[in-house]
Amino acid sequence: MEGFWENEFIQTAAYYSVVILCMIVFLAVFELVTKYKNWEEIKNGNISVAMATGGKIFGIANVFRHSIMHNDALFTMIIWGVFGFFLLLVAYFIFEFLTPRFNVDDEIKNNNKAVGFISMVISIGLSFVIGASIG
């Protein structure tokens, strides 16, 4: 059975499955902290929400990419991925805090593409910083 887990196809399937599950959980958490319903807004054509959500998806995936590259154990990869997600979540609140002249959630919900784009770039950019620091 030990050889089973050393098979690269099995390892890839395991990493993939775990990351998909984590992605679903993390997106549910983002759904809870935003003032709008991500998938409802996307269904209605809100490009700003789509950009912000896409940035979060890319950011989470990029953090896990780095975590997989630097960790041999599945459990360690999950721990680093969860920590990276937490840092992305903190960045979301910092972005809101640093924009006192407007409410980020309200602007994204109102399809302000500039705010949606900046939100996307923050998520993507910080995912590279977080990923580079994963050990």
Strand, coil or helix: what is 133? helix
The yes-or-no verdict on residue 2 having pLDDT over 90 is no
Report the alpha-carbon distance of residue 28 to residue 36 in Å, rounded. 12
| Residue 91, domain extent | 2-133
Domains in the chain, number: 1
Determine the pLDDT at residue 135. Answer: 67
What would the pLDDT profile of 23-62 be if each residue is shown by its tens digit?
999 999 999 999 999 999 999 999 999 999 999 999 999 9
Alpha carbons within 13 angstroms on the beta-carbon side of residue 33 total 17
What would the pLDDT profile of 83-99 be if each residue is shown by its tens digit?
999 999 999 999 999 99
Determine the pLDDT at residue 6. Answer: 80
Q: How confident is the model at residue 65 (pLDDT cuts 50, 70, 90)?
A: very high
The yes-or-no verdict on residue 9 having pLDDT over 70 is yes
Closest of 108, 94, 81 to residue 26, by C-alpha: 81
DSSP state letter for 135: -
The yes-or-no verdict on residue 19 having pLDDT over 90 is yes
Query: Residue 92 is which amino acid?
Result: Y
Closest of 73, 62, 72 to residue 133, by C-alpha: 62
CA torsion sign for 119, 87, 22, 25 is negative
Q: How confident is the model at residue 73 (pLDDT cuts 50, 70, 90)?
A: confident
